[in-house]
Amino acid sequence: MAKIPKDGELEDLTQVNDKIASIEQNHEQVLKRLNDILARFDLMNNRLNNLEGNQAVERLNQPEQERIGRELVHHNERPRREEPNRQENLPKAIVPPFSGKSGVDDYLQWKDKMKRLFILHHYAGPRQVDIAISEFTDYAATWWEQSEKRRETLGHPRANNWDQLVRVMDAQFIPKTY
């Protein structure tokens, strides 16, 4: 014979059922968010692989990014919602240090890594310069300080973007005979 729950027990069962439904809903949201993160990771990994393969990579426009993102989401999921700031979803930028002591090949590798980092994180303008010089060490740091003092003395403008910084650095770290 089935036991008939009393009023207090019925309320407790209703609360337990509500909590279980809430936990299941939260679980589904967490799984969806994790799959969205994996899809973004795959997209970034593909972009980095294209850069490392020395293929020409153009920055994808917004509709193209959204299309690729939808294609990467698993077939049994809804397309991900639009997020106001995609920058928050990128992995933390790890800026490689540059000492200026290791030779031309190391400088060129550092330059390529920085270019990929700027593309991946959509850094532009003066921010590129600030990020790059923040990791100057040893000879490069000393050279940059002296270069800045000389620039200020002569009244020349500071490098405002990556291309301007690269021109100054190329002149210093790539021999004319290279």
Measure the CA–CA gap between 141 and 132, rounded to whole angstroms.
Answer: 11
Q: Does residue 32 form part of some domain? A: yes
Which residues form the domain of 150?
104-173
pTM (global) more than 0.75: no
Dihedral sign (CA 164, 130, 45, 72):
negative
Lowest-confidence pick of 89-98, 117-126, 131-140: 89-98
Total structural domains within the chain? 2
Please tell me whether residues 13 and 42 are part of one structural domain. Answer: yes
Tokens of 48: 């980095």
Does 164 share its domain with 113? yes
The answer on pLDDT for 8 being more than 70 is no
Q: Which residues of 3-42 are buried (b: 16+ CB within 10 A; e: fewer)?
A: eeeeeeeeeeeeeeeeeeeeeeeeeeeeebeebbeebbee
What φ, ψ does residue 170 adopt, rounded to 5°?
A: -55, -45
What's the rounded mean pLDDT across residues 57-82? 52
Cβ-in-10-Å burial (0-12, 13-18, 19+) of 141 comes to middle
Q: Within this chain, do residues 83 and 18 fall inside the same structural domain, yes or no?
A: yes
